[in-house]
Amino acid sequence: MGQLDNKVAIVTGAGQGIGKACAEALAAEGAIVVVSDINGDAAAAVSSSLGSGSSFVADASSEADVEALVKHAVDTHGKLDIAVANAGIAHAAPLVAQSLADFRKVTAINLDGVFLVTRFAGPAIAEGGGGTIVNISSITAQAALPLTGSYAAAKAAVVSLTQTAAIELRDAGVRVNAVCPGFIDTQLVQDRKADFEALGLPMPFDDLIAAKQGRYGTAEEVGKLVVFLAGPRSTFSSGTAYVLDGGARASVL
Partner 1 sequence: MAELEGKRALITGAATGLGRAIAELFVERGASVYLTDINEEGVAETAKELGAAGSSRCDVASASDQEAQFAAAQEAFDGGLNLVVNNAGIEIASILVEQSEEDFDRMMDINIKGVWLGMKYATPHLIANGGGTIVNMSSVAGVGGAPLLGSYCASKAAVIQLTRVAAFELRAHNIRINAVCPAFIDTAMVDRLVAPVEALTGLPFEDLTAMKQGRRGTPAEVAEMTAFLASDDASWTTGSHYVLDNALTAGLL
DSSP state of 249: G
DSSP category for residue 100: H
Q: Is 195 in the site for partner 1 (CB under 8 A)?
A: no
| Member of 75, 97, 187, 251 binding partner 1 (CB under 8 A) | 251
**Rounded distance, CA 202 to CA 187, Å?**
23
Selected binder of partner 1 within 1, 96, 97, 101 (CB under 8 A): 1
Does residue 238 sit in helix, strand or coil? coil
Of 61 and 234, nearer to partner 1 (C-beta) is: 234
Q: For residue 63, give Cα distances in angstroms to 113, 125, 130, 150, 186.
A: 8, 18, 23, 21, 27
Respond yes or no: is residue 242 known to be catalytic: no
Q: Residues binding partner 1: what is the number (CB under 8 A)?
A: 36
Least distance (Å) from partner 1 to the CB of residue 47? Answer: 24
- Kind plus residue range of the DSSP H or E element containing 131: strand 131-136
Is residue 61 involved in binding partner 1 (CB under 8 A)? no
If one asks whether residue 250 binds partner 1 (CB under 8 A), the answer comes out as yes
Question: Which letter does DSSP use for residue 15 in this model?
Answer: T
Distance of closest approach, residue 173 Cβ to partner 1, in angstroms: 10
Among 111, 117, 166, 209, binds partner 1 (CB under 8 A): 166
Which spans of this chain sit near partner 1 (rule: CB under 8 A)? 1, 162-164, 166-167, 170-171, 175, 182, 214, 217-218, 221, 224-225, 227-228, 233-240, 242-251
Give catalytic residue positions.
151
